[in-house]
Amino acid sequence: MTNPIAVFLTVLILAGLGADLIFNSGDATMLLARKFFDLIEWVAFWR
């Protein structure tokens, strides 16, 4: 991955998070965080 691609992806992710905070009060981010933690627990079960 080159530096311009990494910078573009970072800006894209930050823009998505910012749009979520502005339009949804961060609800989508919280949903994704909860699902991610559920996934971590599920994967830890199979360890």
> Contact 29/21 with Cβ under 8 angstroms?
yes
3-44 per-position pLDDT tens digit: 999 999 999 999 999 999 999 999 999 999 999 999 999 998
* Domain boundaries along the sequence of the chain: 3-45
Q: Model's pTM, two decimal places?
A: 0.73
- Model pLDDT, residue 46: 75
Q: Is 36 helix (H, G, I), strand (E, B) or coil?
A: helix
